[in-house]
Chain A
């Protein structure tokens, strides 16, 4: 009797093409599938179709093949598009470098035997909790030409005679922008590095110390190699998120001065939404997609492997 029950309840391999639990399985995954298909796959395919059309908001599209791509890569908008490529590289690369250096430094300090560690950790994580829009405006106010705290205090200290145009000087705007982006993004790196550091067995360091290794050697031969995975994953994740986010550029500089901070999502926003040119707006991010597709491929492999374990 018990055997029969058990068999009836769990183990009877119902001979179905769809698998043992297909009815419940399909039912439970149906809403998520609806989101994946209707709200992600459908818009994504639409983006590809839009990029092949001359289409404005609310209007009928006209298929023009690869004309949009040609305009961007070889045609009239070539200069502006490649400017956004260059700006995106500087923006993403600069932000990643800053976040990496600061994130690793702070994580190493937080991981050592310092006093009031919880206090410091809570403090350093604060920017992570602040809405991006809020911190973008806080920075914009700090950078204000005439009344911003930065210029006023620098003038009070006698360091500058003229206000520095933090966000409208073509040579400074990118760096001012990056400071704000790094400010907000570093806590995520500190967190992942801290998690990585905490998973390194303490015995490794003790053994190295017994063998007479210096702190620098321990760092070079134990810490860095152990963090390899975390560093790679964080770099790829952060590059996807940083490169594709638009709120800092939108709020602080609107892509200016003279397109000096016009990253590609900002360019897509200007063409696709402000100029109602859906076709061109959809094409810009698609041209960048191959790079992110590579990251997504490697990241998903890692995440899925971990999922199976």
Chain B
């Protein structure tokens, strides 16, 4: 069959209708781009359930012939990875809780109260949010060594506040601004204190924003690599991002186990994304980039 002759007429007719060509091209691009998006993820999943025998002899079958959970078994029962996942969870949760609480407090003060230094703090927050991470990791490493916080989860959690706090505060400030003032004014007129207003009116109204900010902050901490690499060297204290590098011993990679561990590690952010997709996408417009 060739692309000449009568066979092509329906296609040409289809394309001839207004703008169809653009749509067809659009679908084609989406298809190709979608494939390139999904392939590395697909390959990770396939590798994680493939037997070593197949991986090392039969070459790279796109469809696996064998199925095994042995890589997951060795990841969970024969490596330090479960402990490292727990460490990741501890650090991400700690820093997120602190960042959201601090961020909500400061965000409220910066949008509702009048006091000296308010604009300066807001400015510093933006600078810190944008600050390049490569400048801070070396001094933070040196200072953590100096203060005996190197190789501890406390030190790592503290270090993570450098990016979670500016981020949470800034996002929450944007949200607090969108809550109408009238409710709070009415409560204040009725004699409520600022604390009551914050606890009874502002925080309940901001619950969705608090969740979005917490999810972002948690995943950012969960995925963080550079500080985790530099601040912890002990295998039992390490977080999962750095623990993953230990599925490689010298030049030898245990790809099956590594891809199993990778899959496990990618799950929490993925689940949060799937559950919160709607909010995550609207969350973007809540934060930094608006036209």
Chain A residues engaging chain B, CB cutoff 8 angstroms: 5-6, 9-10, 17-22, 24-26, 28-29, 31-33, 35-36, 39-40, 42-44, 46-47, 50, 55, 57-58, 102, 105-106, 109, 112, 114, 120, 122-135, 137-139, 141-142, 144, 147-149, 152-153, 156, 183, 191-192, 195-196, 199, 215, 226-227, 229-230, 233-234, 237, 240, 243-247, 250-251, 264-265, 268-269, 272-273, 278, 281-282, 285-286, 288-289, 292, 295-296, 299-300, 303-304, 306-307
Contact = CB atoms under 8 A, between A and B. Distances in A.
Nearest to B59: A152
B209 interface: no
Interface in B231-269: 241, 244-245, 253, 255, 258-259, 262, 265-266, 269
A141 B47 contact: yes
Given A25-B118, A131-B223, A237-B130, 12 more contacts: A32-B102, A32-B169, A46-B139, A124-B37, A126-B38, A131-B269, A133-B241, A134-B262, A134-B266, A142-B43, A245-B133, A272-B141
A32 B105 contact: yes
B142 A278 contact: yes
Contacts of B169: 32
Interface string B141-183: 1110100000000000011011001100110011001000000
A17 B116 contact: yes
Contact of B135 (A47, A141, A215, A303): A47
Q: Is the interface of B mostly helix, strand, loop or mixed?
A: helix
A55 B171 CA distance: 38
> Counting chain B CB atoms within 10 Å of each CB, which of A46, A137, A240, A278 scores highest?
A137
Contact of B127 (A120, A191, A234, A296): A296
A147 B60 CA distance: 7
B138 A272 contact: yes
Contacts of B26: 109, 112, 114
B6 interface: no
B60 A240 contact: no
B31 to A, nearest CB: 10
A58 B41 contact: no
Contacts, number: 305
- Among all A-B residue pairs, the 3 with the closest Cβ atoms: A25-B115, A21-B113, A28-B109
B241 A28 contact: no
B230 A25 contact: no
B173 A24 contact: no
Interface string B41-60: 10110010000000110011
B284 A191 contact: yes
A244 B135 CA distance: 9
Instruction: Name which of B106, B185, B272, B291 has the most chain A CB atoms within 10 A of its CB.
Output: B291
A251 B246 CA distance: 12
A42 B136 CA distance: 10
B105 to A, nearest CB: 4
Nearest to A110: B30
A124 B33 contact: yes
A285 B161 contact: no
B200 interface: no
